[in-house]
Chains A and B, each alone.
Chain A
């Protein structure tokens, strides 16, 4: 925060509750001061939320198993860290085509940024400093990112809709059990959700700050370097600009004026994004066209994994158009869904109403209208991207998690609005804070309860509308993915498996298995085995894998599990012992 007069500081701070009415203009920029800049207090609040997110994730990290993909990223991280070691030891060699190809060949269907961070973190915090266990060392960069995400989400929410909405948004996001789960993993889904938010925030700040114009481009490059979802960001933001302002500029000044008025953040993204992306990934340095082409083609033609949805095993297109909306309605705590839905609908109503009025009056759209559209479009676009029937559906809500921060802000708006309503009813401004606190607790408590209940098995969480895990099983929904719930039977295995028992871990990768043993979660004498040789077989319930369970019955001469992970009675993992009761 630069030194400024108290008057200037007041103008810069996000509005404290109660916020001014919707028709109020954004405070005019004071020369040299960014009106969207956060106050010290807001940065402090955001930092506290960020620290809480970091600590919360770090302290609960052990409860989350290693999904298949994460185990692949561990391997990739180690390989990429090897390149950085080479860079320090023999820099000239590190830049050769042979070296970049060799170290970055593995898992080159995804950009390298997060895997580089996982690898460097592992190298530093596990191999050298021995500060944390091995799995945690890979995950640390995600926890740091989560902290920054919480800070950014708070600042954005508070800047747009006041402190109450900002705080609520952060709490709501992390009290969604599925978001909480994904924020633990050394994968890309939460990171790209975070970088999506960062870019949108930078784009918003860039409207009044040149520095953020540059940052917007750099952050867009980093988002691209995180996961391909970021490709959609310029499209979404362009949509926002056209809806919020572009149409007006076009009407007033024609096409030339329209082009001239395009915000600088777009030029920044166009110029800096590819540069940052290119620089972050040594694998493409010597073959940019071929290898970027492969990356894009891989995701344009991504295989669809079978996925269970409302009693239908979806294997190939056309897929249900409203899949993402339905899954959201069944996997976000229902009290939050209610607040999000009313927030979305009321905000949409206001935005459309104001837009029509502005259009008819041939008036210039306000910044407030622009901000409202920015929120709305980012609530809808990440989910809408999944709507075309040809788009693969596997993976659940993580694929449109980028909508969640914005939906959480809208839910926060609703909660604050309701608290004000109560205070107004009592005609006592002192009632506002207690009402706000009570509503925070009431709306967030079901999510917190669900989170504590489901623990580290986040992909198995279903909300109260679904009827929890049992209701979801009855509805024919995917019970889990991809194999991390196997940790639920480790206690039994460690206690009951014979010495040097051969165990068939269905769907668990060899790398996950090694990680479990290396991190003390599974006895070291237990052997990773194929089904035919196994003494014990642990099956992971997936609808498309039912044949595996029956193969276990045939092969192990038993149809009766010896132990299992049953979440509210729903079979998730079932372990069979050879010849048990025949």
Chain B
């Protein structure tokens, strides 16, 4: 069978162009492979950066990595708070006082400068960058840092949890920060996936429409606002078309309905609620009650996070 050498070359220049293209691409590929190892950080680079972080670590500090996916650095910093997010700019950094960024700028397609600019828009550089081989360490002070007056997720141990079964109330046994409601149901401080990012929140999977799951904080402290985040978590948020139903979260303050969130079926992003609580006396504790319910609890893995600020 013939090979179409002649007919495949409509002009004299094309074969040479083809040769130049293939050779250039091949040489470029070889160059890529030859230079790749030199662009990787070594374990020693990570260890040196980790030692620098540890030496100056303060309360309120956290570490992020750029590019965001390159989370190997976590392995070298056990115990150091970490910001883990698909996109640093989308992460809630309001509770981080100082942010350390471990950058790996020489990785292919790293684009750390752009991510750094977006992620630290409300921060100021704190000292010069430090280089450890292929690891660059930077520190920023967060101008937007503020501590919540009351963190409902972290204060879950102070809450009472029960199921509002018609005609009676079934209390969930408290075990530290965990509340055991029986039949495998519990309410606890968990780390749940919301839109591919980890969220510290109150894991409270609904039981049914007529059996609201109630998480009651009898002595919560309020400030100007009460912010609430709620989501159906992990892959369950996306799931739809198999009888899944919306999830409702209601918020009552001192026995009065203050607000509500409904998570429609198939919703992946978290839903937010911001309540004006300035009218409540900030000096005295208030009863803040969250109740979660849905018609069909199948696949409705739910969590919420709230803070008064």
Contact = CB atoms under 8 A, between A and B. Distances in A.
B168 interface: no
B29 A464 contact: yes
A315 to B, nearest CB: 6
Nearest to A161: B3
A341 to B, nearest CB: 9
A464 B32 contact: yes
A23 B198 contact: no
B2 A471 contact: no
B22 A414 contact: yes
A26 B2 CA distance: 8
B1 A417 contact: no
B78 A581 contact: yes
B44 interface: no
Given A339-B22, A474-B108, A570-B70, A20 B78 contact: no
Interface in A438-496: 442-443, 445-446, 449-450, 453, 463-464, 467-468, 470-471, 473-475
B235 interface: yes
A420 B6 CA distance: 11
Contact of A470 (B4, B22, B26, B109): B109
B36 interface: yes
Contact of B4 (A334, A335, A347, A553): A347
A372 interface: yes
Interface in A327-360: 333-335, 337-339, 342, 346-347, 349-350, 353-354
A421 interface: yes
B7 interface: yes
Most buried by B among A350, A418, A470, A551: A470
A474 to B, nearest CB: 4
Interface stretch (B12-20, B206-214, B217-225): B12-20
Contact of B36 (A414, A468, A559, A564): A468
Contacts of B29: 333-335, 446, 463-464
Contacts of B41: 569
A471 B27 contact: no
Given A346-B18, A442-B23, A580 B5 contact: no
B2 A335 contact: no
A53 interface: no
A418 B22 contact: yes
B18 A19 contact: no
Given A335-B22, A445-B30, A569-B41, A470 B110 contact: yes
For chain B, the bracket of interface size reads: 35 or more
B4 A372 contact: yes
A15 B3 CA distance: 9
A203 to B, nearest CB: 14
Most buried by A among B6, B8, B111: B8
Interface residues of A, number: 84
B5 A159 contact: no
Given A470-B109, A474-B69, A568-B36, A14 B1 contact: yes
B10 A349 contact: yes
B69 A571 contact: yes
Interface string A527-560: 0000000000000000110110111011000111
A580 B79 CA distance: 8
B164 to A, nearest CB: 26
Given A160-B1, A346-B18, A474-B111, A544 B30 contact: no
B283 interface: no
B30 A338 contact: no
B68 to A, nearest CB: 9
A294 B2 CA distance: 46
A353 B74 CA distance: 59
A345 B27 CA distance: 22
A413 interface: yes
A322 interface: no
Contacts of A416: 3
B18 A562 contact: no
23 contacts: A15-B1, A19-B1, A19-B2, A24-B2, A26-B1, A338-B21, A338-B26, A342-B18, A368-B2, A417-B5, A418-B18, A418-B19, A421-B15, A446-B26, A446-B30, A468-B108, A475-B109, A544-B235, A547-B193, A547-B234, A554-B192, A568-B36, A568-B40
Interface of A: 14-15, 18-24, 26, 159-162, 165, 306, 313, 315, 333-335, 337-339, 342, 346-347, 349-350, 353-354, 367-368, 371-372, 413-418, 420-422, 442-443, 445-446, 449-450, 453, 463-464, 467-468, 470-471, 473-475, 543-544, 546-547, 549-551, 553-554, 558-564, 566, 568-571, 580-582
Given A335-B22, A338-B25, A464-B29, 7 more contacts: A334-B25, A338-B21, A342-B21, A349-B10, A354-B7, A421-B19, A470-B67
Interface of B: 1-10, 15-16, 18-19, 21-23, 25-30, 32-33, 36, 40-41, 67, 69-72, 74-75, 77-80, 82, 84, 104, 107-111, 188, 190-193, 196-198, 233-235, 238
5 closest A-B pairs by beta carbon, nearest first, are A547-B234, A467-B108, A581-B78, A446-B29, A335-B26
